[in-house]
Structure formats: structure tokens, C-alpha cells
Structure 1
């Protein structure tokens, strides 16, 4: 197993300071491979002993052994990508390609088909669907909401904190609330989920954080892989694993003839409008 993948697998068993080292190794490998232990400790504001404990926990004898294994990993320059073989200086597109593959694969491993089908059932049974998300999750919230509306499902989205709190207080047991957050620790969303649950509504979430407040506030949680934690520090797309799950939910809902008909009717209406009222 490659050392980077091994570090990811051991991440949850590391202490907070050791996790700091692990993230630096994963995200800044090309610079770290040339550092000594003291220089790395100073760079990360940790002790030499923290780094020593980290390398032993991931199965290396000492820091020298770690650097040898890590350098072997870093020296695997040729990468097979969608465009064929590329060199180190041109690997950005392939890194993103591989990241997407990894995150989707790991998300698929976390998906529970029973939970997916249960959430679809809840959506079908509910009078209204409320979807909450802030920041980047707000954009995903709007996308999810538009899909449900096009299927003829009464859906209300809230991407602003006050609106979440207002709507969560008028929700009742006939409604379903779905919270979206990669971290699972968006306070406004979690407060709204708790309010909705106190009012008798069903609550669900899509997040990458099993031990988060969002998970605690939700009766049903679909878990995804965190695309940010283990990716290159420049990579900013925290939503595509959540979008992948939304794609699955959408396809399962569209197996219903009524939802499928409504979606097709909506698409036809939009296309007809564009053809008859072209913009100048």
C-alpha cells in the first residue's frame, strides 16, 4: 500500500498534533520530502517527539525510514491519466482526476443502500421538503431544491441563517428537513435541524462527519468522503461528494413515473420558452 494511502487510513487513530503532521505530509509532500525533522517540527509548530511518534504509528522505524519510503512514493513520476502518460510538471489535471475517483470510490463504500431508499421514501411521504445549507453547501442546497421542484415535489430551500431559523419553527410532523454540510458543524443548520426535530418533523443530513452535531441532530444521515481533508491545499471543491449522493437520490426518485413525468414536462416547458422567447 502506498504510504500516503496508509496515512489516510491511520489518520483517525492519530493524536491532534500527529494529525497536523499527517495533513502536512499529505497536502505538502513535495516540500516536506526535503526537510529534516527539526525543520519540519519548526514549520508545523510541533515537537520533534510528535513527528517521531507519528512516523512510528504509520509503521516506519524512524524519521529516516519515513523519508526513504516517502521519497519512493514521490519519485513515482509517470502517471497514467485521461490524456496518457504525463510528467511531474503537467500532472495537475490527473491529480484532480484521481482525487475525484478516490473520493467517489470512498463515498460509494460509505453509502448504505437502505438509508438511501429510506430517505427517498421520506421525501415521497412528506408534505413539504426543507433543505438547509450555508456557504458552498448553499449552492448545493439550491441545486438539490431545483431538482425536487422540477419533479413536482413541494420544496423550500434556505441558504441564509435567519430564514433557516424562521422556517424551522413553522415546520411540523408532515415535513422533512434535510441539512447539507461537509463538516457537519455549521451551527445555523444544526440549530434549524434541532428546531425542526422538536416540532415533530423528520430530519436528515448529508455530511462527511460521523461524530458531528449535524449527525446528532438528524434521524437519518448519509455519509460521504471529505474531499478537502486529504486533498491538495489548493483544491477547494468540498461539494462534489455530496452532489454525487444527490445524483443517486435524484435517479431513485425518477424511478417514480409521476416524478419522471413532471421532470420531463418541466424540461419541455423551459425548452419551449427558450425557442419562442429567445433573448436579444
Structure 2
């Protein structure tokens, strides 16, 4: 249950005492979650009976359930409860670019060449590569991997559907590789699909957070470094770290056979020129 939403939705129907409790909770969730029931009642200037009635009004079974729900609400994180003030428009343009640059520098500084070499060794002999990702950036990056690697002649297919990932995982063997993308490394469907693929001997390359469940299941890990800011209104810059990792990996793979890959890229450029025309400097794909 989302206790904060339940309180906000009922603000017009509370009694005077319940209204004071509601305002206290909404203004200081951390205090409401950590305070004793006596302290909470005293701060709101209500009786224990009013506090108990408030708990039932907002959908809790009892006061114990209210405390549990408040604790869960507080655990979401203070930046979502009392976010920092949004900067002026010109300032947040600069902040967005600054966060992206900081993320890219942080990842570049943490890159380990031996990990990319291990990733190349895992992918190169694979009869088929599958890239898995779910959610926003992770699913898009799994498809970005397909775009990058298919140009180099690698047999690769991307999937973001949990049922399809399970179907694919059940067909794999030691001659297959799976690249799994996840900013958190904790998505249950991804973890389950990777467990299934591993049970049949497939090799796992994870682009994810170190120490996460997915990272622990990987044969090779390309670690991400997540450092979210308190400005919650802009999209996460972490996805740029994943894109940089993919670009470095794709370049490493391309350079394993530069002559053959140059010919592949030439043929792709020719096919696109025949299809759409355009300048020589246009990218290979939209």
C-alpha cells in the first residue's frame, strides 16, 4: 500500500485531529516513521484513540500496520519526499550535461581492459548471442547491442519480453552467450532467465551493478557505476555509462578483425546509400 497517497487522497475528509496527524506525516515522513506512537500523538496534539482511528481511516489494520507502512514510505528515499529545489532553466541544462559528463568520466576511469578482453573471448566463439534487458534504459540498451554487433557479423537477437527470455533461455547450451543489461541488476525476471540459461551451460556477460544478483551470476562482468543525484526530475545519467560500455565493447569486437569488419561496414553503407541517399558523413543507421 502507498500510505502517503492514501493520506493525501483523504485530506478533505479527515476530522480536525486526523488532519493534524496527516499534515505532520506528510511534512516529516522520516520523523513519523521513526517516532514512537506516543511521540507521534504528542507532536500532532491528538489522543491515542484519534491516532488509532486515523490508522483505520487510511486503510491500515491497526497502529502497528500504520508504523510498518510509514517505515516503507520513508525507505523510498528522502530525495523523493523532499527533493532539492529545481534550478533555473538555463542552470538545469548545464546540470544535465554536467551529470552526463561526470558519469562518462567515472566509467572511463573505472574501465578495466582485461574485463573487455574477457568479454570478447566469451562472445567471439558463440554460435548465437542473445541480449536481454527490461525496463527503460536497460531494454533499449539490449537492442542497442543488437544494432552494434550485427554490423560486425555477430549473430545476435535482443529480447525485452520476460516470457520470450525464458523460452530462449530454455533452448540454449554451452555454445551460446547471453548479454544481460540492467542498471540495478535486481530485476527478478532477468535473474530467473539468467539462472535458466546458466543451468544449460550458456555463458553470461552482464553489464550491470557490481555486487548485484545479476553480477554474481555472470561469467564476465562489465561493471556500471551508479551515482544518482537529488535532482529527481531529470532522466538518470546512468544510462550513458551503459551506452559507453556498449560502445567500448563493440569497438573491441570490431578491432579483432578490422579488415573483415571494414568490408562489412562498407557494404552496410552501400546498402543504406541505395536505400536513402545522403551525405558520406551520415551514420550507419538512424
Match of 2:226 in 1: 226
Q: How does 1:103-252 map to 2 (within 5 A)?
A: 103-136=103-136, 137-207=138-208, 209-226=209-226, 229-230=228-229, 232-237=231-236, 238-252=238-252
Q: Residues 179-204 of structure 1, C-alpha deviation per residue, up to 9 Å, x if partnerless?
A: 00000011111111111111111111
Structure 2 CA distance, aligned partners of 1:177 and 1:217? Answer: 12
Match of 1:42 in 2: 28
Q: Is the 8 A contact 1:99 1:231 kept in 2?
A: no
Distance 1:170 1:89, change over 3 A: closer
Structure 1 CA distance, aligned partners of 2:89 and 2:274? Answer: 47
User: What SS class does the counterpart of residue 93 from structure 1 fall into?
Assistant: helix
Aligned residues: 200
Match of 1:267 in 2: 269
| TM-score, normalisation: structure 2 | 0.64
Deviation at 1:269, TM superposition (A): 0.9
Match of 2:53 in 1: none
Q: Is the 8 A contact 1:151 1:259 kept in 2?
A: yes
Deviation at 1:41, TM superposition (A): 8.5
Q: Is the 8 A contact 2:210 2:224 kept in 1?
A: no
Deviation at 1:42, TM superposition (A): 1.7
Give the root-mean-square deviation of aligned CA atoms.
2.5
Structure 2 CA distance, aligned partners of 1:192 and 1:162? Answer: 9
Deviation at 1:127, TM superposition (A): 1.1
Q: Residues 127-181 of structure 1, C-alpha deviation per residue, up to 9 Å, x if partnerless?
A: 1111000121111111111211121110011110011000001111111111000
Which has the larger displacement, 115-124 or 155-164? 115-124
Bigger Rg over Cα: 2
Give 5+ residue unaligned stretches, structure 1: 1-37, 49-73, 75-86
| TM-score, normalisation: structure 1 | 0.65
Deviation at 1:40, TM superposition (A): 11
Structure 1 CA distance, aligned partners of 2:26 and 2:104? Answer: 32
Deviation at 1:272, TM superposition (A): 1.4
Structure 1 CA distance, aligned partners of 2:191 and 2:92? Answer: 36
Distance 1:89 1:152, change over 3 A: closer
User: What SS class does the counterpart of residue 125 from structure 1 fall into?
Assistant: coil
